[in-house]
Structure 1
Amino acid sequence: MSRKLPLADGETCRTACARALIRSGVDEKTGEVLTCAALAERVGWCADLVAGMTGALLDGHWNTSDVDTLAGGQDPGGRKLPSNAWMALRRLGWTVSCEVKVNDRIVRMAQEQAGRALRSVKWRADLVAGVLAVWPEDPNKRTGEEWDAVRAAIPGGEHLPSSVIRSRTRQITSFERNHGRRPVDVFELEPTPRVARMLLLAACDGQQAAIERSAIEPTKALLRLQLPTRPSPQTYRDWTWVECSITLPPTVPANAVIHLPTLHIAGGKVRTDLAYTHPVPKIQRTGHTVALGVDWGLNTLLSTGAARLHDEGQITDLGAGAQFRAAGVLAKQYRLRRISERLHAKTDHYDRLADPSLDSRAATLAEEIRRVSARRSNLNDALAWSAARWAVDQAVAAGATVIYLEDLRSMEAGGMGRTQNTRLSQTVRGQIADHMRHLAAEVGIAVVTVPPRNTSKHCPACLTSLRHRKAPDRPTVPGWKWAICPGCGWQGDRDQG
């Protein structure tokens, strides 16, 4: 099929990803129908081979010198390194051998996965190096001069959230407390990353995998790939072609061009991360006249208000705004957090006792912690998608072409008590912002983050500094939820204002 996407005027192409499940397969050589479990077993054998080679590559190049060489973008001959990670590693001569019989495309997947991990660690390496270079006298509280110095020592540090620097400082302090000295670099601070059992088919070509969308059923796609018939293949005869039918999710448009997916095993089933490219409206960089403002809250997770910019420069609001309330979901989230904290506390107690008779109980607790963590993760993901979808729908309904979002993704709450600080810090703001950009791009709406400073300080009508009170019926009790303007008399919810 053609990989070139036709575009109309005012359109651009965009690549997204959707998840799908492969329920069965057919071995082309024998005609055997592979059940879900049999297919997962064969994919798992191939993923184990790739993971083993990926781990060997990471172990051999998990150091400052090699990471700097890869990030430098040039090979020893001065030529520019390719953008594909596996091609860049081959240009540098970083390869790996396998004791069993595999084709070159399997090695490619291992090099691609290792190359991506080595490229991604460069940012963390520069960050840790900058923090170590200007270590403060008191790690718990930097002075203004020390903040300026550490930001100057980190590439792009002037735009880096303070919470990122503080978290790395705490990590280094913990290492120093355990080892009696500070680490040399991030490669001593962090172990070699765990290798995921997955197949990056995007690094392959038609000799290893191919995918085709059905012309008869647009919701179906056929994936063909070579898989081993045994855990340790000794000859190429131990590899056979397997056909897998994939039901495309409804989020994949009919005119989208699909690409080779990434396969991984989850719950004993083969799941795919299917990339596809489709046309979307171009996002305007200037000329916006209708905008939607989005403000964060706690119980009221999001507050929105639309405004119009007129030709003479006047700004008027459109309607009374709206609020996304998720008190019930957040209450469940906090309850799961408390359960997780109790389980971890009990597990730590068993570890301190070091009683072999408690090993079975500790294993039971570890499994329960895993299940609670999975529930928390699923709940956060569902909440983030729901909130982002709601905000984008508000923008579409108002006819807005831009969303202005308060940038609180890295905020660390403080000064509000232990419980309130934890609730604020664990809000899934980063996920909501990412999902909001994803969904807004589908309809050609720009998402712009703005600094949070003074966003709730001034009156939306006359820009006078507001007085914040506890509630509208308690105008003399200091608080933060209700705002009253001493100038024009406007009053309303702080977040919505």
Structure 2
Amino acid sequence: MPSGVLLARTRQIAAFQARYGRLPAGLTECEQAPGAGGHVVLAAVDKQLATIERCPEGPFRYGVLTVRLPVKPAPVCRADWRPVRIRFRLPPHVPATAVLCAPTLRVREGRLLLDVPYALAAPKPERAGHRIAVAFDWGLNTLLTGGTLHLTHETQPRALTDGHPVYFRAGGVLAKADRLRIHGEHISARIDQLRTLIASRQERGMRPNPRLVAKLAVLEAERERVARRRTRLNAALARAAARFMTDHAMAAGARVIYLEDLRDIQARGKGRTLNTRLSQTVRGAIVTHLRHQAATHGIAVVIVPPRGTSKYCPYCLTAFRHHKAPNNQAPGWAWATCPNTTCGYSTGRDNAAWQRIGARGLTHQHKTSLDRGSGTFVIRTVVEALDRASTVQRQTWDRTKSGPTATRPVPGKRRRVPAPPENRTPTRARPGGKRPAGWTPTHPTHRGQRCSRQQGPTTIGTPARPHRPDGARLGAGFHRHAHTTPTRGQPWPSHPPQRFRTPGITQETQAD
């Protein structure tokens, strides 16, 4: 098992020993009793007691559940059971070819709810033999950075990339989760203080203050509500990130997704704020949701060792020099530059990391194994010779103009502004004159009446209407504070690219 699980169990046992002065008899003694609401799991009963099928009148919209229920408190024979037919509506996302399975019955606010699972025939994910792959790298501000790689059909295969990364930014979701965490910590501190006051009165033989007891009950209920909000927020983030990766893999025609293994990461020595943000990342839940969504489409999820993925250049495997980003002077080491003069590759460290992850996964396909505990494909060891040969080359596109360009202005779409008299002969319909003066120039210290704020003519202002993402409003599954790169079509041609060489650099191009 991962070392993080052993470390967490060790801390749990140490906390138990510090509280009770003895070692626990087992791991179950360190944990609280599991709680669950009242529900009936019909998957555990025989088909003589419960059957489910589609409704004959509307098989695409309704289903029928037949359950045999007792008519007496202590049934002893077959006559004491009566079949009950329950007709329910199927959600619109359930395919017509899906096979309905035995549901779970729950009661909420006097209504009977059915959790109906369904099964679909899906292709089996393959652990090797992939030519197109999608790789992603974990980040902090940008949660996921990834792209598509293609393996050539040569004697010595080469990994090609089109150089178009995709991003999943969840800064708004993480900020909201951080606010909920701080709010929960403040509530927990107040609860501990109230419990101390109540315990001190009981030790002195006094009755607890009713106001303190009532306030403690209110704060405990508020803490449970905040915990449920954090759970729902993390679940929404995990589902959105998993769907983002699955959609890009389907759009690229890839049958495998490569991720780096960060199960043993420990948030230490990074400062209080950064340690907390690293610990709050829901990487495990994202991988779990990704495995389920990818398995529906026959896409394999492979975990790759992360050592050295953001340290070396993906094109020449030279050690990077990390420094501040040229367009953002915020403190950090988010930018990487290759010191090799023949390469000179410069990009974000996350952008370089996903290329190394994808190239390492494609070259180590034969070492992919199935983890029996989690059911995930894992590459456990890295061969040094294969890792040195897993360089990435950029796929360049043929820019030859064979037709009119969409962005090229045509005579009917030119600007209708008067030209200076010396540049064009004035006519009666369109007399010559000066061009418009444009925006009022701003002064660094003096503000004119027509310029109420220091804003240049090219500044993009904040829109008046609020942010309303169409995907979240239409039920696409993404959170309103999660921003992603739109999915693109097939980036790779059906025929192999042509090769041409330039001094010092090998590049790839394809016919238009």
TM range (shorter): 0.5 to 0.7
1:214 aligns with 2:87: no
Report what 2:95 is aligned to: 253
Alignment of 1:82-101 (within 5 A): none
Give 1:338 deviation, angstroms.
Answer: 1.0
Deviations 1:45-68 (A, max 9, x none): xxxxxxxxxxxxxxxxxxxxxxxx
Amino acid at match of 2:101: H
Give 1:410 deviation, angstroms.
Answer: 5.0
Q: 1:272 to 1:451 in 2, by over 3 A?
A: farther
Q: Percent identity?
A: 48
Which residue, out of 368, 374, 390, partners 2:222? Answer: 368
Structure 1: stretches of 5+ with no match in the other structure = 1-159
Report what 2:261 is aligned to: 407
Cα distance in 1 for partners of 2:98, 2:44 equals: 20
* TM-score when normalising by structure 2: 0.61
Report what 1:25 is aligned to: none
Which residue, out of 93, 106, 131, partners 1:264? Answer: 106
Report what 1:205 is aligned to: 46
Report what 1:397 is aligned to: 251
Q: Is the 8 A contact 1:482 1:494 kept in 2?
A: yes
Report what 2:26 is aligned to: 185
Q: 1:403 to 1:262 in 2, by over 3 A?
A: same
Which residue, out of 188, 195, 203, partners 1:351? Answer: 195
Higher-Rg structure is 2
SS at match of 1:281: coil
Cα distance in 1 for partners of 2:179, 2:259 equals: 28
Which residue, out of 178, 182, 187, partners 1:334? Answer: 178
Q: Is the 8 A contact 2:2 2:263 kept in 1?
A: no
SS at match of 1:405: strand
Give 1:188 deviation, angstroms.
Answer: 3.8
Cα distance in 1 for partners of 2:273, 2:167 equals: 24
Give 1:280 deviation, angstroms.
Answer: 1.4
Give 1:289 deviation, angstroms.
Answer: 0.7
Report what 2:437 is aligned to: none
Which residue, out of 419, 429, 435, partners 2:273? Answer: 419
Deviations 1:255-302 (A, max 9, x none): 121111122345554333322221112322221111111111112110
Report what 1:17 is aligned to: none
Q: 1:366 to 1:184 in 2, by over 3 A?
A: closer
Amino acid at match of 1:256: A
Q: Is the 8 A contact 1:410 1:430 kept in 2?
A: no
Give 1:437 deviation, angstroms.
Answer: 1.4
Amino acid at match of 2:309: T
Aligned pair count? 335
Q: 1:403 to 1:190 in 2, by over 3 A?
A: same
Alignment of 1:66-105 (within 5 A): none
Report what 1:95 is aligned to: none
1:443 aligns with 2:297: yes
1:495 aligns with 2:350: yes
Amino acid at match of 1:316: L
Give 1:469 deviation, angstroms.
Answer: 1.1
Cα distance in 2 for partners of 1:286, 1:397 equals: 20
Cα distance in 1 for partners of 2:97, 2:250 equals: 23
Amino acid at match of 2:176: K
Q: Is the 8 A contact 2:142 2:167 kept in 1?
A: yes
Q: Over aligned residues, Cα RMSD in angstroms?
A: 2.4
Alignment of 1:141-160 (within 5 A): 160=1
Q: Is the 8 A contact 2:324 2:331 kept in 1?
A: yes
Amino acid at match of 2:67: L
Report what 1:60 is aligned to: none
Q: 1:297 to 1:177 in 2, by over 3 A?
A: same
1:163 aligns with 2:163: no
Q: Is the 8 A contact 2:122 2:295 kept in 1?
A: yes
* TM-score when normalising by structure 1: 0.63
Report what 1:308 is aligned to: 150
Report what 2:165 is aligned to: 321
Report what 2:66 is aligned to: 224
Structure 2: stretches of 5+ with no match in the other structure = 199-207, 353-512
SS at match of 2:16: helix
Q: Is the 8 A contact 1:468 1:478 kept in 2?
A: no
Q: 1:345 to 1:444 in 2, by over 3 A?
A: same
Q: Is the 8 A contact 1:209 1:223 kept in 2?
A: yes
